[in-house]
Amino acid sequence: MAQKVTIRDLAEAAGVSVTTVSQILNGKGDRFSNDTRDRVLKLQEKLGYVPDYNARNLIMGSTQTIGVLVPNLANPFFSMFIKGIQQVAQSHHFVPIIFDANQNQKLQSMYLEELIKRAANGLIIASATLDANDIDRILTRNGIPYLLFDQNDAQIGDRVWVDDYKGGQMAANYLLSQGHRRISLLVGQDITHNIQQRISGFRAGMAKYHLTLADEMVVQTSMTKLGGYQATATVLAKKPTAVFCINDEMAIGLYRGVQEQGIKIPDDLSIMGYDDIDLADFVTPKLTTIHQPAFEMGQVATELLIERLNNPRLTHQDKQLPLELITRDSVKLIQSGIH
């Protein structure tokens, strides 16, 4: 490879000073003659000069980088979330660095450090296992603005959220309106704040019907397809008429387990999910679920963060996005004596 061309090379070639080149290339060249300006620009093209990223950032103090931490890239919800991030980051000339922390505590800390090292301007963190206060401590110490996602309890950092409590209620209402009374709840291992909200909302929804969700009706497993599948027997043992899965992935896993037993959805068992990943529309039967606007959430999260980057002394930002019940084919209307 040819030796890298520096600003000094370019200056020399153009017969001007380094200052002149720098100014012109940074759009501050009004005070130079057209002649000089053209010459520099032409020569830049010709020599293929690209300002050294590190040198530039060193002095500018910004990397135009946003760090992103998600628990699982393979979950379509997060794929969409990331796509949203990428889109608006790009339009603001930021670059997202994405880490899949794999729900692994240690890895997350590592990545967090890596992002700090790399002087990310801001962070978007969707972490189940990192403690919000830990994050806050380490990040504010380093003066890095961030936005917490999927973990909205702590009143720190900015926030983009959906009303999970209401989402839980919506799910309950719908299931109950379809006549279901014996409902099982399928949840993950570590209950983040937002999930907790969903559950509470669901409970509240049942309470309105003067029903309570017995503890024995909630079963825990990992929040993946496999987790849902593995929980099949346990769920079935509860003899529910419907099960509300705390995310679509698990619902899809449960689909398989249930269908393997020859049980028909929704005739023998109704299943409801949460997230509305693209897949929900492609399984058989199509999954009834609560739609979370993952892509928009990514967009808004990034917008808020960049907003704060531009204006550090903004007060706490908070944006809520709407949830929506998507009724498809996985929940059956059953007879019910009540109501």
Partner DNA sequence: TAAGCTTGGGGGACCGCTTTAATATAACCA
Partner DNA sequence: TGGTTATATTAAAGCGGTCCCCCAAGCTTA
Contacts with DNA by CB under 7 A lie at 4, 6-8, 15-20, 22-23, 25-26, 28, 31-33, 35-36, 49-52, 55-56, 58-60
Partner whose footprint covers residue 6, from its own copies, DNA, none (CB < 5 to 8 Å by kind): DNA
Nearer to its own copies, 124 or 217 (CB): 124
Of the candidate residues 10, 171, 246, 283, the single one contacting its own copies (CB under 8 A): 283
Q: Does 239 bind its own copies (CB under 8 A)?
A: no
Strands 65-70, 122-126: pairing kind: parallel
Under the phi-then-psi rule, with left for phi > 0, alpha for psi from -120 to 50, and beta for the rest, what region is 70? beta
Three-class secondary structure of residue 218 per DSSP: strand
311 binds its own copies (CB under 8 A): no
Give the Cα separation of 311 and 17 in Å (integer). Answer: 35
By CB under 8 A, is residue 202 in contact with its own copies?
Answer: no
Q: Any idea what the Cα angle at residue 185 is, between residues 301 and 130, rounded to 5°? A: 40
Is residue 253 a contact point for its own copies (CB under 8 A)? Answer: yes
Q: Tell me how many residues contact its own copies (CB under 8 A).
A: 53
Which of its own copies, DNA, none has residue 18 at its interface (CB below 5 to 8 Å by kind)?
DNA
CA distance 165 to 162: 9
- Binder of its own copies out of 225, 231, 235, 241 (CB under 8 A): 225
The CA distances from residue 209 to 9, 177, 269, 272, in Å, are: 78, 10, 21, 19
E strand or H helix at 95, and its extent?
A: strand 95-100
Q: How far is the CB of 92 from its own copies (least distance, A)?
A: 13
d(CA 38, CA 137): 50
The alpha helices in the chain, defined as continuous H runs, are 7-14, 18-25, 34-47, 53-60, 76-91, 105-117, 132-141, 164-177, 193-208, 225-230, 232-237, 248-260, 294-310
Smallest gap, in angstroms, from Cβ of residue 79 to its own copies? 4
Please identify, using beta-carbon distances, which residue of 131 and 260 lies nearer to its own copies.
260
Binding mask 37-56 for its own copies (x = CB under 8 A): -----------x-xxxxxx-
As a whole number of angstroms, the distance between CA 53 and CA 200 comes to 49
Contact mark string toward its own copies, 126..165, x via CB under 8 A: --------------xxxx----------------------
Site residues for its own copies per CB under 8 A:
1-2, 4, 48, 50-55, 57-58, 63, 73-74, 76, 79-80, 82-83, 86, 90, 95, 97-100, 102, 107, 110, 114, 116-119, 140-143, 225, 229, 252-253, 255-256, 259, 278-279, 281-284, 286
